[in-house]
Amino acid sequence: MRQAGHGTSAAVVGARAPHAQPANPACVIGPGQRCTHALVDGELNRRLDEYEARVRARFGAIVPVLRQISAQEHAEDFVWRAQELARERLGYELPAALLKNAWVTGLDMSALYSDAIFKSFADCIERADADQAPWRERLRLDADFFRACGYHTVDITPCADGRLQGLLPFVLRIAPDEMVSVKAYAGAVLDVETDMADWTQRELERLSGGMTGYESCNYLKIAVYHYSSSCPVDQGCAAHGSNDLKAVSCALGRLDELRAAIENTFGAGAAPDVLLIGIDTDIDSIRIHAPDAQGHVAAARYLDNATLYRDTLGLDAETARARITAAVTASDCTPGMQTLIAHLLEANLSQIEYVIQHHAGRYAVIGHDENFIVAGESVCPMQLRNMYYFAHLDTLEEGAPDMDVGIKIFTGLNLQCGLAVPILVHFCYDVRVPGSRERAVARCRRVAGAIEARYADLAARGMIHCRMAVTDVHGTEIAALIADEAVVEGH
């Protein structure tokens, strides 16, 4: 097989690398038990399933369409046929420059694939409000709920693994909101200095009167690690070599460091509340490590929601809820934290059943199946498992470990199949600040250039395709691709 690039054969476009299927089922419903849990929101699950099918179809159509196009590349009216097919099946046209000389040089399928990925991404962003409106309105863990629990900010650091990209609406059933922020790092190894700066800014807003109704509330920091119950040695956290103990200890260690750093700097009692959550990415069940009365979290002390699901399946709603509440109150954390944990566990029951009913009890692909990499700042409107791998960074130098993990993942997903790695470099700006957008664009260019320099061999062979996008945090421009400014254009 020739390398994807100039003159690449269309034969390279096909299914990506196969994934091993574990033998053991992830969830078994016992004899006599009902298959629908009394606390599950079936209507919300139905709406999420429709959303997932709609979004995945936009990306799933790319390879079949490119296969059809490749079969016609020597037709006399090839360009017209190709564009007609793309418009009909994908909803957009492909770059004419990549099509018009195909009869001489052959189709650059890798470049066509990357371009289609970016255009499907843009389509999803444009349709996000309409796509998500049906399920957003049913999410109950919102700003009012967190305020009732005693929190003005919920700052979540999950692992950058694509399997956690549906963390908020799917796994935790949390409504996306300005008070909820997500900063993903490989291995959930959060940046203590960055989190201190974020905590300081939010506390300053609260103390200066900028948070009406949240004056007595606290800051909550959550770290989210993950593991695989079916294939623990192969499909756990790549950043930790699928070592679950290391994943837990590293996330917990950073939480402890953050608390210590804030108390050492601002005094005893200043530290935010912290919570550690684990996700079995095979079935999306969670483990919650409840803090003790002093706010400390222990690796060995947790509530396993897969167990709670099985133990409460078949009970009526009131009895099942009482069982969960009793399990939570056995810990000695604050009442507000107990309320939060109980609701997270109950909400996650719907996701466990979502996987049972819509994914046969365990995801068919329990490993990586991302479509592209996002480098920089997360794209909030993209809320779906394995949609993209996220490398949070301000500069490539500090984010290099996360990018290296992403390239390693896409070596198996794309590079071994002859497809390039699509990388979206994305940063946010504030329209209220003069020159902010221009600086965000310049930042995109610097990071994209640094990515090409770090992976120079791949870039030279056309195996990395970067595009840039910016988002206005206080306006209407959301993950907008920067027109005519692709760092790597289709040859």
3-state secondary structure 219-264: EEEEEEEEECCCCCCCCCCHHHCCCHHHHHHHHHHHHHHHHHHHHH
Query: Is the same domain home to 126 and 243?
Result: no
Contact 468/486 with Cβ under 8 angstroms? yes
Query: Is the same domain home to 202 and 327?
Result: yes
In a domain, 32, yes or no: no
Query: Is the same domain home to 84 and 170?
Result: no
Query: Is the same domain home to 109 and 75?
Result: yes
In a domain, 159, yes or no: yes
As a whole number of angstroms, the distance between CA 351 and CA 88 comes to 34
Active site residues: 161
Amino acid 5: pLDDT: 38
Query: Is the same domain home to 334 and 471?
Result: no
In a domain, 68, yes or no: yes
In a domain, 24, yes or no: no
- What CATH number should be reported for the domain holding residue 125? 3.30.1330.140
Query: Is the same domain home to 154 and 265?
Result: yes
Amino acid 52: pLDDT: 97
Number of neighbouring beta carbons within 10 Å of residue 174 = 23
Query: Is the same domain home to 302 and 392?
Result: no
In a domain, 489, yes or no: no
Strands (E), 250-407: 273-280, 285-289, 303-304, 372-376, 388-392
**8-state DSSP, 360:** T
Q: Which secondary-structure segment (H or E) carries 430?
A: none
Amino acid 360: pLDDT: 87
Query: Is the same domain home to 124 and 144?
Result: no
Amino acid 210: pLDDT: 87
Q: Which secondary-structure segment (H or E) carries 281?
A: none
The count of domains in the chain is 2
Reduced to 3 states (helix: H, G, I; strand: E, B; else coil), residue 322 is: helix
Query: Is the same domain home to 281 and 154?
Result: yes
In a domain, 23, yes or no: no
Domain of 118, in residue numbers: 10-17+57-130+368-481
Q: Which of 337, 358, 379 represents a domain boundary (last residue)? A: 358
Distances (CA, A) of 422 to 86, 447, 451: 19, 14, 12
Cα-flanking dihedrals φ and ψ of residue 432, to 5°?
-75, -15
Contact 174/135 with Cβ under 8 angstroms? no
Residue written as token pair 């007609």? 84
Amino acid 21: pLDDT: 44
Amino acid 20: pLDDT: 44
Amino acid 485: pLDDT: 45
As a whole number of angstroms, the distance between CA 252 and CA 249 comes to 5
Residue written as token pair 């934290």? 337
Q: Which of 327, 358, 389 represents a domain boundary (last residue)? A: 358
In a domain, 150, yes or no: yes
Q: Which of 329, 358, 387 represents a domain boundary (last residue)? A: 358
Pairing, β 285-289 against β 273-280: antiparallel
Query: Is the same domain home to 103 and 220?
Result: no
Give me the amino acid identity at 179.
M
Reduced to 3 states (helix: H, G, I; strand: E, B; else coil), residue 424 is: strand
Query: What is the distance in angstroms between the CA of the first residue and the CA of the last residue of the chain?
Result: 20
Residue written as token pair 């097989």? 1
* Nearest-5° Cα angle at 377, 217 to 438: 110
In a domain, 285, yes or no: yes
Query: Is the same domain home to 275 and 350?
Result: yes
Query: Is the same domain home to 262 and 337?
Result: yes
Contact 294/263 with Cβ under 8 angstroms? no
Alpha helices in 61-170 (DSSP H): 62-70, 78-89, 96-99, 102-105, 109-126, 128-136, 143-149
| Residues 306-340 pLDDT 10s | 999 999 999 999 999 999 999 999 888 999 999 99
Contact 224/284 with Cβ under 8 angstroms? no
pLDDT by 10s per residue, the chain, length 491: 223 333 343 334 444 544 444 444 445 555 554 568 999 999 999 999 999 999 999 999 999 999 999 998 888 899 999 999 999 999 999 999 999 888 777 899 999 999 999 999 999 999 999 999 999 999 999 999 999 999 999 999 999 899 999 999 999 999 988 899 988 888 999 999 999 999 999 999 999 988 988 989 999 999 999 999 999 998 999 889 999 999 999 999 999 999 999 999 999 999 999 999 999 999 999 999 999 989 999 999 999 999 999 999 999 999 999 999 999 998 889 999 999 999 999 999 999 999 999 998 899 999 999 999 999 988 888 889 999 998 888 777 777 888 998 899 999 999 998 999 999 999 999 999 999 999 999 999 999 999 999 999 999 999 999 999 999 988 889 999 997 444 444 33
**8-state DSSP, 174:** B
